[in-house]
Amino acid sequence: MKAFFWAILLLVATATADHKSSKNKNKFIDLTHAFNNETVTWPGRTSTFNVEIEGYTPDGMWIASRGFCTSEHTSTHIDSPYHFHKNGRRLTDIPLEDLIDTPAVMIDIYDKVHRLVNGELKVIENYVLTREDIIEWESKNGGIPQGSIVLLRTGWESRWPNARAFRGEHKPTTEAPEETNEIRKNPEVKVGDLDLNFPGYDATAAQYLASEKQVLGVGIDVLSIDAGANSRFFPAHQVFAARGVWMLEMVANLHLLPPKGFNLWVVPFKIDRGTGAPARVLAKLN
Ligand SMILES: [Zn+2]
């Protein structure tokens, strides 16, 4: 048995040197934050990441495994419509054809969020993208194709992974609330009164994209599709979810994308009937 083990070890040692590189190298831009101990979460949610085993067995064999525990809505992730609509599709109801290789556009509002006023940088923290903003973008870049995906860049990514800055928290830090199973215990979920400030979509933008442009999905580089100050009624989430549009949040690297001319690949972790899931999001330039 021991001889067999050493024979396997020899095979493995020689095989690692023979590792082939991918044929598709450099074709994709990764729009995903790496998941780790610094990952920013929604207030009150926790996310843990730990080493389960990492080292040599007494026989000299290497073995490594890590574990993680997270919300469906942590790090770069997809919201299924069910997240904000009782009759909306759950994660596993979304057809793969809608998630894979779909034409997408990127709307950049960095300059609307970050302005120079008398030579000083002023950040409009809760700036909301409106229907007019989108029409203005279309007049420069051409119409948003029906059935596409829209990504919104606010420039908030430079704050990652500083949780306070990324959430736009202003109040002094208090003890983190204890993690509970509140949703399971109490369906009258309490929201609102959150110290959150970051840009988002407004309801007119959501209505325009969902109904007139019939987009399949939308995305943003901040914690939520809705601006931080709208985290009581979540108007954009409600409009999108009611019309079956899925949402991507905490998308990374949007500054690397052109306004048009790329397709999106969204590969969520397959959580059965999920309200959402962490996802690998990739852009393929045409
Ligand atoms: Zn979410």
Give percent above pLDDT 70 in the chain: 84
Q: What is the DSSP letter of 4?
A: H
Residue at token pair 């995906």: 149
pLDDT band for position 186 (50/70/90)?
very low
Please check the confidence at residue 43 and state whether its pLDDT lies above 80.
yes
Residue spans of alpha helices (H) in the chain:
2-16, 96-99, 110-113, 131-141, 163-167, 182-185, 203-207, 235-242
Average pLDDT over residues 215-234: 97
Residue found by looking up tokens 């809608």 in the block: 98
DSSP 164-227: HHHHT--SPP-PPPPP--HHHH-SS-----------EE-HHHHHIIIIIS--SEEEESSS-SB-
Tens of pLDDT, residues 98-115 = 999 999 999 999 999 999
pLDDT tens track for 188-217: 455 657 899 999 999 999 999 999 999 999
Q: Please determine, for residue 180, whether its predicted confidence score (pLDDT) is greater than 90.
A: no
CATH architecture of 23-285: 3-Layer(bba) Sandwich (3.50)
For the chain, domain boundaries:
23-285
- State in Å: Cα 33 to ligand 1 middle: 14
Average pLDDT rounded to a whole number, residues 166-174: 86
| CB-based contacts of 103, cutoff 8 Å, min separation 6 | 145, 147, 148, 149, 262, 263, 264
Ligand 1 center from residue 238 Cα (angstroms):
12
Confidence band, pLDDT 50/70/90 cuts, at residue 93: very high
Say how many Å lie between the CA of residue 39 and the centre of ligand 1. Answer: 14
In the three-class reduction of DSSP (H, G, I as helix; E, B as strand; rest coil), residue 268 is classed as strand
Question: How much distance in Å is there from the Cα of 11 to the middle of ligand 1?
Answer: 44
